[in-house]
Amino acid sequence: SRIMLTDDYFSDVNPRSMRRLMNVIYITVRLLKAFQIDFSWYRLSSWINLTEQWPLRASMIVLQHDNFMDSYDDNVSLQAVYEKVRPKIACLREAAPLLELDRDERKLDAFLQLHKSDLLVADLRIFLPFTINLDPYLRKVLKEDQQSIEDEGTLMLQNKPSINPAVRIPPPIPTYVPSPAAYPPYQLFHNDYELRHRNASINSEPAMTPLIGSPSDSFGDDVLQTKLSDLTVEGVVSLLERVDDLRPALPKLSPILKENAINGR
């Protein structure tokens, strides 16, 4: 009792609560001694005060430790563990009404700060198996809340609409450029000479002239002014005789025109 009365926070504990705390400590000490476990009276009283005055938040600390046991060293303070679970308090559902079991949260912050060096994860691991005043039902409700939140998160991910994949632009077809190592030195010289010779010949070639000139260059004015639709077969033959380029072929062409009665129409 002297140990607890020296704590500034527990100076306002009423006699009934003090009697309950003493009974819990007495039974817990007997259990620890029965299993021949060494412990500190001061640390034990601090642990029992935590679980007695803030049972739900203490259960959240225990659950956090159980879920991430390997990531917590013995020297980590319970204050550090509580800082991990503090944001989860706002997400409580079924366990939210059980927050009324806890006393003022600001006093819990002051208590954990005061006992930062003598309430460690190592103490939790020693005292938790022998803690008789922390209802396991609290952890059960907290686990159900946590499981429901995880299930809803998984369901939301499954129902999330799929995003159309971005249109993939095919990569450009690479242009094959042979490396110098692909040719022997003499062939490189030959290819280079041939390329320069070809470029020089292209640049020196005169401009190409059209193969077929304009009609005014091939026919005279009398031919151009003749209306083709008015010509008979003889008129077509006579017209072709006035075209210099067609005159050599006219002996063979004229019988064909007359045989097929090809006129200007």
Say which residue, 12 or 95, is predicted with more confidence: 95
Say which residue, 248 or 74, is predicted with more confidence: 74
Residue 246 has pLDDT above 70, yes or no: no
Residue 60 has pLDDT above 90, yes or no: yes
Euclidean distance between the first and the last CA atom of the chain, given in angstroms as a whole number: 134
Q: What is the pLDDT of residue 189?
A: 41
Q: What is the pLDDT of residue 185?
A: 45
Average pLDDT over residues 71-95: 93
Global confidence as pTM: 0.56
CA distances from residue 65 to 29, 125, 189, 209 in whole angstroms, order as listed: 23, 9, 78, 93
Average pLDDT over residues 38-53: 93
Average pLDDT over residues 117-129: 95
The phi-psi region of residue 149 (left if phi > 0; otherwise alpha if psi is between -120 and 50; otherwise beta) is alpha
265: confidence class by pLDDT, cuts 50, 70, 90: low
pLDDT in tens, 179-220: 444 444 444 444 544 555 555 554 554 555 444 445 555 556
pLDDT in tens, 126-173: 999 999 999 999 999 999 998 988 888 766 656 655 455 455 556 665
113: confidence class by pLDDT, cuts 50, 70, 90: very high
Average pLDDT over residues 35-62: 94
| Domain range annotation of the chain | 2-158, 219-259
**8 A C-beta contact, residue 41 and residue 22:** no
25, with CB counted inside 10 A (0-12, 13-18, 19+), is: buried
Q: What is the pLDDT of residue 236?
A: 72
